[in-house]
Amino acid sequence: MSSEAPERRLHPLSFLFLLGEHLKTLLLLLVLVILGRRHDNELYALVGIVGVALYSVAHYFTYRYRIEADAIVVRSGVFQRNLRHVPFARIQNVALHQNLLQRLFGVAEVVLESAGSGKPEAHMRVLRLDEAQELERQVRRGGARPVAAAATAPGEASPAAPAPSENVLLSLPTAEVLRLGLASNHGMLIVGGAFAALAQMGDNLIGRGFTAAGSWIGGHAGGLHLSYAWWAFAIVLLAVLALLGLRLLSTVWALLQFHGFVLSESEGRLSMQRGLFTRVRATVPRHRIQAWSLHEGLVQRWLGRRSLRVDSAVVESGHGEKHALKDLAPIATPARIDALVDGLLPRHAWPLRDWQPLHPQAWRRKFTIPALLLGVLTLVVMWRSGAQALWLLALLPLLALRGWWWARNAAWAMADGLVAFRGGWLSRYWRFAETRKLQALELRQSPFDRRLGMATLHFDTAGADGNEPALAIPYLPEETARRIYEELAAVLEK
C-alpha cells in the first residue's frame, strides 16, 4: 500500500496565497506604476497580475505529492516538470507556518529542509492544517508506520494541541514572554530597520525629521530659559523615555513572536511552536543539533534568566522568514536551561565542572588594542580642540577593568565528549559542541599571540550561525592549545 499511496494536492485555495505572495514582491513595482501616472503602464501591470494569477492556478493543478513508506515524492512544475524524492531520514527540519489569513482559512505552509542545501527540499503553499500536521507527524516518525487514518477526522485537530505522546520540555507563560521582551534589544533593531527603510525612501526624510524635532525642542527650551541643572534633568528624562520606548517595542515584538511558546520532544525530534498572529511550528531531530550557545545579557542576569540557541545543519536561505528551529529556550532560569541541555545531550554532561582559565596574560589582549585606539582618538581630538581631550584618557582604567573582568570570567572546558568556551564580561555567553560534531580544527597564532606565547583554537561545525560568537578558545597558552588540538585530532579520527 505504501508504494502506491494516493497522490495528494495542495489546498484548493492555495493559488490565492501563492498569488498573494507574488503580489507582495510585485508591490513595489505596482506602486511605481501607479505613481508613474501613465495609462499604458497600468496595462502592463494588469498583464503582469493576470500572468501571475494564471501561473498560481497552474501551480495548483501541477503540484502533487505522495507519501511513501520512507520518502515523500513531489511532482511539480508548469513548464519544466520536476520529480523530487526526499527520504524522510534526510529531512532536518519541518516547518509549519500560518499567518493570520491562513489561520482564518485553516491552512498552513509546510517547508521541508535538508542539511546543507540553501533551498528547501519542498515548500508547500498551502495544505489543509490537519494534512500539514499529518505530514509533519509522518516525517517525525521517519515514515516507519504508514498512517492509516489520514483521511479520518479532518479539521478537529487544533494547531495548539500537541500530540499525546509529546513530552513538553519548556513552555513560556505570558509573564516570561514579557520578561523576554524586557531583556531584549530587539526594539533597537526595529528602530534601526525603520531608519534604514526611511533612508531608502529618499527625500532626506530622516534629516528633515531631525531638523524639525530639533527646532521644535530648541524653540520650546529657549522659551523656558532653563538652567544647566534643568537641562541635565531634561536630557536624562529624554534618555529614560527613549529607553522605555525601545523596551516597549521589544516587548510588543516578543509578544508577537513568542506568545504561546512550547518546546516539546517526541520520538527523538524536537518541535517548537510560537507566535501570536502568525503561528510558526518547526521541528528538528535531536541528534542534528550541531552546536549550542547560551546567553546571559545584563538585564537577563538581573532578572535571573538566560537564553539557549542551537545551530542545526540546516543552512538558512538568505531571504524570507526563518524556518529553522534555533531558539530552543528564548528565556528561562539558569537551572531550567541547564536541565534542558543536560537532557538533550546524549552523554548528559552539562553543566561542565572543571573550567580551565586562559593564559594568565589574556586580559592584556582585551586591553592593549582598545587602549591604543583610545590613544589615537585622544591625539586626534587634541589636535582638533586642545588639551581638554586628555580627559578621554580617564577611560583607560575602565578598559583595564573590562579586560581583567573578561579574563576572569573566560574559561574553557573539555570533558565527556564536549568542548566548551565561556566568555563575555557584562553580558556573558557559553558556546559548546559535542566533539564528534566537529568538522575541522584550526590552530591560529597572530604575531601578538606569539609574543605572549598564546594560540587560538577554532572549531568548525556544520551550519554555524554567523550571528553567534565563533566556537573557539582564544588566548590559550601555546602548549595547552597544541595539546587540546592533538587530543581532539585523535578523538575525531576514532
Positions in the binding site for other proteins (CB under 8 A)? 115-116, 288, 290, 313, 436-447, 450, 458, 460-464, 485-486, 489-490, 492-493
Amino acid at 238: L
Nearest approach, Cβ of residue 166 and other proteins (Å): 24
**Cβ nearer to other proteins, comparing 191 with 441:** 441
Q: How many CB atoms lie within 10 A of CB 488?
A: 17
| Calpha distance 391→489 (Å, rounded) | 50
Angle between helices 228-258 and 186-201 (to 10 degrees): 100
Concatenating the DSSP letter of every residue in 154-197 gives TT---TT---TT-EEEEE--HHHHHHHHHH--HHHHHHHHHHHH
**Cβ nearer to other proteins, comparing 115 with 178:** 115
**Cβ nearer to other proteins, comparing 147 with 472:** 472
For residues 450 and 434, the answer to whether their CB atoms sit within 8 Å is no
Nearest approach, Cβ of residue 470 and other proteins (Å): 8
Radius of gyration from C-alpha coordinates of the chain? 28
C-alpha count within 13 angstroms, C-beta hemisphere, residue 174: 3
Q: How many CB atoms lie within 10 A of CB 10?
A: 24
Cβ contacts of 260 within 8 Å, gap of 6 or more: 160, 172, 273, 274, 275, 276
3-state secondary structure of 279: strand
Q: Rounded to whole angstroms, what are the CA distances from 160 to 97, 128, 156?
A: 13, 15, 12
**Cβ nearer to other proteins, comparing 71 with 126:** 71
**Cβ nearer to other proteins, comparing 399 with 470:** 470
Nearest approach, Cβ of residue 441 and other proteins (Å): 4
Nearest approach, Cβ of residue 113 and other proteins (Å): 13
C-alpha cell read off for 236: 536624562
Nearest approach, Cβ of residue 416 and other proteins (Å): 19
Nearest approach, Cβ of residue 101 and other proteins (Å): 36
Nearest approach, Cβ of residue 289 and other proteins (Å): 10
| Calpha distance 407→357 (Å, rounded) | 8
Nearest to 283 by CA among 186, 176, 169, 432: 169
Nearest approach, Cβ of residue 44 and other proteins (Å): 43
**Cβ nearer to other proteins, comparing 155 with 447:** 447
Beta partners for 329?
308
**Cβ nearer to other proteins, comparing 306 with 437:** 437
Nearest to 271 by CA among 489, 94, 126: 94
Nearest approach, Cβ of residue 92 and other proteins (Å): 8
Nearest approach, Cβ of residue 229 and other proteins (Å): 49
Instruction: Provide long-range contacts, Cβ within 8 A and 24+ apart, for 474-477.
Output: 474/358, 474/362, 474/365, 474/410, 474/423, 475/358, 475/359, 475/361, 475/362, 475/365, 475/407, 475/410, 475/449, 476/358, 476/359, 476/412, 477/358, 477/359, 477/453
